[in-house]
Structures are given as C-alpha cells and as structure tokens.
Amino acid sequence: MLRRAAPMITLSLLLAGACADAGGRDDDAGPLTLGPEAGSLGEDSESSGGSSSDGSSSSTTQGEVDGSETEGFKFDMAALGDIPALPEGPIPATCGQAAQGGSSVGCRFYAVDLDTHDGVETGQFAVAVANTGAEDAMIMVTQGANMIYDTVVPANSVEVITLPWVNALTKNNGPSALVVDGAYRLRSDRPIVVYQYNPLQSTTTNDASLLLPTNAWGNDTVVASWPQWNSIPAFYSVVASEDNTTVNVNPPPGGVSIAAGGGVAANGSGQVVLNESDVLQVITSANNSDV
C-alpha cells in the first residue's frame, strides 16, 4: 500500500541538562540568547524624496500621504505598536549554551522514520549533520541500547549519515501502535543542526524535516494536517525524550476515525506512557481521511 509521510510530534517533560551525557564541556556555560544582532528596521527622517522617469521629483513628509486624497479606496490603518527587537547573540559554542535557547541548534536530537510511499522505501533514510562551529563535533547515533553509528563532523562542514528503515513504522498499515525504541537518538558534544530525509535522493518524494533539539521541545503540540490522497490512510507520530512521558491525545470535536491501537481509541483519544526513544504512530482507519 502506498503511504505518505505525515507530521512528527516531539513531546517531553522539562529537559534539564540535556547535554550532561554528551561530553561534559558545558559546566561553566552561562545563559545565551540566540539570534542575529538587533537593529532598526529603517531610518527615521522628516521627509524622503525620489525622482520619476520624466525628471520630476516628489517628496513625502511624515503624516502626509503621497497622491490624490479623493481617488481610490481609503482604509483606516491601526497603529502597529512597538515591534520587539530581534534577540542578540552568536550561535552557541557549547551544549550548555545551546540548552539555554529554543532554536534549532542543539546537542541531542531524535530522528523518526516516517512512513512514506512503499515504492521509494528501497531508497535510503538519512540524516544530515551540519556543524557550523569552530571545533569538530563528535556524533553518536543509538537506537535503544544499540550503537548504530559514530563519527566526527569537522568544523564548518556537513555530513550525511544513512540509517536503516524501521520496518515497524514504515510497514505498518494499521492499527495504531507504540513502537519501543522506534526512534534514533543522535547526540553531539558540540552544538549542531540536523535534518532528516525520508528518503534521501528520491525523484518522486523527498520528505525533508529540520529536526528540533530536545532543548526546543515543548509539552503542547497541535497536529496540522490535510486529508490524505491516493486512497491511503493518514497518520502522525509522537516521540518521547524521557522515560515515563505521559502523552494525552485529544482529537478535534467529534473525534476522528482511527485504527485503534497503542492506547489510542477509535475516536482518536487516549493516554499513552512512552519511554525515551519510543514512538507512538497513530493511523486513520479509512483512506483519504484526516487526523
């Protein structure tokens, strides 16, 4: 059966010391606010001028509107109010600094093999690790207790890591299920950015996702979806970063038609306890449906 990738939800509890097991270089790191340097959106002035192609010029003074006052539609524009400045600060240099922010830069990630077309699952599931820092990053990929891959990504470089498909997720046409250790855990001793591809280098579908590190995860997530196509069911996946994570699944008013399983009822509601790296895959019971 052909399948199409759907959203992945990341749920966690409070994540204190997300990098404590990833190198120990962050003991003295202080808070850091991420983002480009703040600046004004434009220069304030009393007037501005311009010229036209026929050599004429025009100027507009603050408080005036250039052009006719009697032609065309007129709209009352409300004041925009104060526009907050962009946060200041460089890209974090340590895992401790990354843990203070909520950006896509971090040291602990979870890659989840999302279901896709059966015809392209002969391709390659993969993640790409981007190290924009000034020092090399040691990378370790595990699945449960199993070591999958380890490497060093040099500073200012990108490395693609190919990973095996997880058949319990990609070959599941229903019912919904909880897959123990279904996710790949990727850890680094330096802040990195990670992308995943389902699959890599496919001509018909290449579902690419920017993964968020655990320091950017939250506790409340909405699944934004659209009815599935090509007579196939829809689905979403949930992954936990900590043991004993309680996931409450609340469907929209009226419920949805779900292939019950894994602790999720036929109307899409349920409460499921996930351990670290577990994946809950919720699948609709009907084709061309929505979650």
Amino acid 288: pLDDT? 78
Instruction: Indicate if the pLDDT at residue 54 is higher than 80.
Output: no
Residue 106 tokens read as 């971090």
pLDDT, mean of residues 202-215: 85
Residue 85 tokens read as 């400045």
Helix (H) or strand (E) holding 287: none
- Percentage of residues in the chain having pLDDT higher than 90: 49
Tell me the pLDDT band of 152, cut-offs 50, 70 and 90: very high
How far CA 1 is from CA of 139, 173, 200, in Å, comes to 35, 8, 20
- Higher-pLDDT residue of 39 and 198 is 198
**Interval 229-264: pLDDT, tens:** 777 888 999 999 999 999 999 998 888 899 999 999
Residue carrying the six token digits 């997300």: 18
Cis peptide before 87 (omega within 30 of 0): no
Amino acid 205: pLDDT? 73
CA 227 to chain CA centroid, Å, is 21
CA 94 to chain CA centroid, Å, is 21
For 23, phi then psi, to 5°, come to 135, -25
SS3 179: strand
